[in-house]
Amino acid sequence: MSALPLNIGETGDGRSTLRSPHGVGAPGVTSPVSPLPGEAVVRGATLLDVPTLESLMAPYVATGDLLPRSNYDLCRHVKEYLVAEAPDGDLVGCGSLKIYSRDLAEVAGLAVRADQQGTGVGRVLMEALVAEARSSGIAEVLALTRKPAFFHKLGFVLAEKGHFPLKVWADCARCPRQNCCDEITVVLKL
């Protein structure tokens, strides 16, 4: 996967949609409006990014907004992650697309550095993950979240977790919070 320029500093109406018939990283991709200075990119994560992925997610793991992911798990699944990289090389956000079947994928591990909250980084990462799902022919993208308002702004709607038995069987059955889950399921039909 090639890097997707964020073209930070563009002006526009703030609706922030990716416009590329060919998916992430295609020529002619325009990107969301963001007040971040300079040019940033969304790119596929590498093994060298794993320590930073852990750091980006740590505050959200501490609050319970994200489930913990071990270094081993991040290394094993690093190809599922996208990162937002600032012009200075710092990673300011991350997220993954977990594919369960030809019809279903999940956005997981979405985290944005605290000083970048509200700047559009999360939206850009989500749009890139959804574009990746679309280009793979995925029919639905789900997320389990404690922050459904963010996803509603991106077109996700409420759903019942039970409608996604592949997700429940693969992850929820062995989750430490399975008997006390407070996450809300949202889905986007592509």
pLDDT given at position 38: 52
CATH architecture of 4-189: 3-Layer(aba) Sandwich (3.40)
| pLDDT tens profile 9-48 | 333 333 333 323 333 433 333 343 344 445 779 999 999 9
Better-scored residue on pLDDT, 95 or 167: 95
Buried b (16+ CB within 10 A) or exposed e, 164-173: beebeeebbe
pLDDT given at position 14: 36
- Mapping DSSP onto H, E and C, the string for the chain reads CCCEECCCCCCCCCCCCCCCCCCCCCCCCCCCCCCCCCCCEEEECCHHHHHHHHHHHHHHHHHCCCCCCCHHHHHHCHHHEEEEECCCCCEEEEEEEEECCCCEEEEEEEEECHHHCCCCHHHHHHHHHHHHHHHCCCCEEEEEECCHHHHHHCCCEECCHHHCHHHHHHCHHHCCCCCCCCCEEEEEEC
Given pLDDT bands bounded at 50, 70 and 90, which one contains residue 164? confident
Please, what sign has the CA dihedral across residues 12, 24, 145, 63? negative
Better-scored residue on pLDDT, 146 or 14: 146
pLDDT over 70 at 154, yes or no: yes
Average pLDDT for 158-180: 69
Beta bridge partners of 14: none
